[in-house]
Chains A and B, each alone.
Chain A
């Protein structure tokens, strides 16, 4: 990896972030506390420096996130002085909605997609900036930097706006919106190199250590007291997370990589894609496309 490549990616992302602020009345940045979000937030600070980030940060909290994520989120946002909005589907959470009660898709839809859409509506956000990358998944590979959403927040990959040169058409009518993806061209490896070079603070869940886990559909799930499944066989496994979502649906990978350098080496040689351990993604062949069509990002 060379510095020139990262410099170009950084510059492109900053350009896109500034376009979002230049073109929209009320943009928001979606922050999931994961590695891509952390890079995105760092880039947003750079893009508007020496001023503060000129838009709020939105976290969609399903209540099933790892404990460490909440602590990290609050301390980091406080440190950089950003304005955080936390959105939760309190009704669904109080009714104990879970993958077990509703199934993977419905749970994800209620706690994530619907919560997101409600938060966007309530705050009249006309653009939502997200850290999704094209390299992550086959339908995301089709995304534009400025991705049009209709008045129901739906994505229609068959009639996307063309995107010529670096001219982004963010014109929308009321209720329509744009999802902005500044990290479109970054790969997982780029993200880690950048985290290393820029010394971006990152959750310890990404680093290997011995954790208490159990098997679910061939995936290593962290043993957690709030969501304990019955009759699971808990083991001690040295592992780490490549992506982070909800505890019960995000698998860990066996790994010895306890430093960034080791993570980089691991990714270079790995023979599985990044989101392979997300139960929800691999559940159906086109599950990400389906979710995106309904408004997920």
Chain B
């Protein structure tokens, strides 16, 4: 089997009223996408300082970018670096209500566990997520609480 399929799904933003349309136009040579494609994890702090990196990370998280971990990393970095941005809650809330974006929710939740302020924003969302994801989120929260 060879990987040659272009899965050209449009940007599906779900039906949540909280969903915000990404405002950053992305191209395949976007430097943040390139950095996030690396097989070894790139520290979020090492990402290039774009004029509006938060919006760029949000756009990447929402976009259909291959490989799949690029969007997850973008979601994770968004939560790690920009949880105090005024747009943050509006951006991430749909990830915890839309079953098709629950992986982004898990990435943001995991990233938030190192920062109590961010966790306090995200945990209530995670506790109400669709059932398919809620168990995963709960396990992640329980593991964090059990860690020494």
Partners in one complex: no
